[in-house]
Amino acid sequence: MSDSFNPADNYQRTRGLVGYIPRHEATAETYSELGFRCGLEIHQQLKTDMKLFCRCPTGLYQNGDDFDAEVIRHMRPTLSEMGEYDGTALMERKTKKNIIYRIKNESACTYDIDDTPPFPINRRALDIAVEIALMLKTNIVGELHITRKQYLDGSIPTGFQRTAIVGIEGEIPLRNKKIGIIQLSIEEDACREVSDIGHRRIYTTDRLGMPLIEMVTYPQMLTPDEAAEAGQYLRFLARSSGKVRTGIGAGRQDVNVSITGGTRVEIKGVQHISWIPELTHNEAFRQKALLEIKNVLCKTVPDKNRWKLSINDISPSLLNDSLAPLKNIAREQKRITAVNLPGFKSVLSFFTQPGKMFGDEISGRIKVIACLNQPNMYHSEMVDFPLSFETIRREL
């Protein structure tokens, strides 16, 4: 990178190019210009004594180190009914994770670890789901069909979640509009994650199989505040039944966000509805930034089929081994790989969201696929970069 290029200045310049403003300065017109759209998937545990498809008790939580047995699994994707593999499942397969389940005899059985078929559905849980579905003004289905939703992150030992649609096509009122409800489903909850380090992910099975409902809205919220308002309404509507659980982890939100020209991004497991406005605001501008980056790369890399990167392993002696991530590289027999990205000048330091640049997006992808904890990457456009790249460039 030439001396004339300043990553910090480029970050600020591209922030202006994206048009990012803090949420408190944004208006409805701001989101209209972005083409902001948001939909919600609200999950709420039901207050029952037993799990959904077995007779184990609910609400008996364990510490991560308190267990009677461990089971290890390796998840593998399977073909769908359409003869295709799910992209997310294939990505999870690349991580080569060892999935470990920590089991307590008091809160789990052979069904939970996929060793026996399911018992009949918990009728108490189903009655509660129907009641809340009616509160949402949905049309109750004539027959309940238990289906499978693929889960390859290991949070369910079977690799799929049993779920059933209870009601469809409802609505809820907001201050200035109505929001459509696609469906309300009843399903079994997943395991609780204890840790996810490297290629080893650990779960406890105490929460596994607890009955919960999923309320899915149409993507009709046009501002972050509308999304939060809809989330609050659905949460309090469910609570008004007096038949749902409350407290940390009892209710969780998956938030879907897109803008014009972007793609739907799901922000999973949002614990607090008060977080939704800031998260969706930043995600909308992140997608705007990625579209701007696409425009830049279309100019600097006009023919992507002829674009080639160069990759070389380099010696740790070329680097500052006092940096924490680079210590003990040789002793642990790990590799340091240098990658040259032609045409990417100014892209790695391109603003994506407050405190983040495009290089951080790549680092996050490395963490997910290669299971390398962050920091896992240094690049030449980092602000206050601790290394010199001149020697490394000669190696490339």
The full DSSP string for 7-60 is: HHHHHHHHHHHHT---GGG--HHHHHHHT-EEEEEEEEEB--SB-SSS-PBSS-
Confidence of residue 76 (pLDDT cuts 50, 70, 90): confident
Residue 270 — φ and ψ, nearest 5°?
-70, 120
pTM as predicted: 0.89
Please indicate, yes or no, whether residues 44 and 167 belong to a single structural domain of this protein.
yes
Q: Which of 21-30, 54-63, 70-79, 243-252 has the lowest mean pLDDT?
A: 70-79
- Highest mean pLDDT range out of 54-63, 91-100, 182-191? 182-191
Mean pLDDT of the region 207-235: 97
The token pair that represents 167 in the structure block: 């009601």
Domain endpoint, select from 224, 243, 258: 258
Tell me which residue range forms the domain holding 182.
37-258
In a domain, 286, yes or no: no
Q: Is the pLDDT of residue 144 over 80?
A: yes
Statement to judge: residues 180 and 44 lie in one domain: yes
pLDDT, position 320:
65
208 in Cβ contact with 190 (< 8 Å): yes
Containing 214, the helix (H) or strand (E) segment is strand 211-217
Q: Domain total for the chain? A: 2
What's the confidence (pLDDT) of residue 373? 78
Q: Is residue 275 part of a domain?
A: no
pLDDT grade for 378, boundaries at 50, 70 and 90? confident
Q: Residue 117 — very low, low, confident or very high, per pLDDT cuts 50/70/90?
A: very high
Domain's final residue, options 258, 279, 313 = 258
Choose between 377 and 241: higher pLDDT. Answer: 241
Mean pLDDT of 349-376: 89
Is residue 316 domain-shared with residue 390, that is, in the same domain?
yes
Among 327, 322, 66, 58, residue whose Cα is nearest residue 204: 66
Q: Would you state the pLDDT for residue 100?
A: 95
Both 131 and 228 in one domain: the answer is yes
Mean pLDDT of the chain: 90
212 and 356 co-located in one domain = no
| Residue 221 sits in the same domain as residue 174 | yes
Res. 339: pLDDT tops 60:
yes
Q: Kindly provide the b/e burial profile for residues 50-85, where b requires at least 16 CB atoms within 10 angstroms of the residue's own CB.
A: bbbbbebebeeebeeeebeeebebebebeeeeeeee
**Residues 147, 63 share a domain:** yes
Please check whether residue 266 lies inside any domain of the structure.
no
Tell whether 285 is covered by a domain.
no
Residues 373 and 235 in one domain: no
The reply to whether 154 and 186 lie within a common domain is yes
* Residue 187 forms part of a structural domain: yes
Q: How many CB atoms lie within 10 A of CB 336?
A: 17
pLDDT of 330 over the 70 cut: no
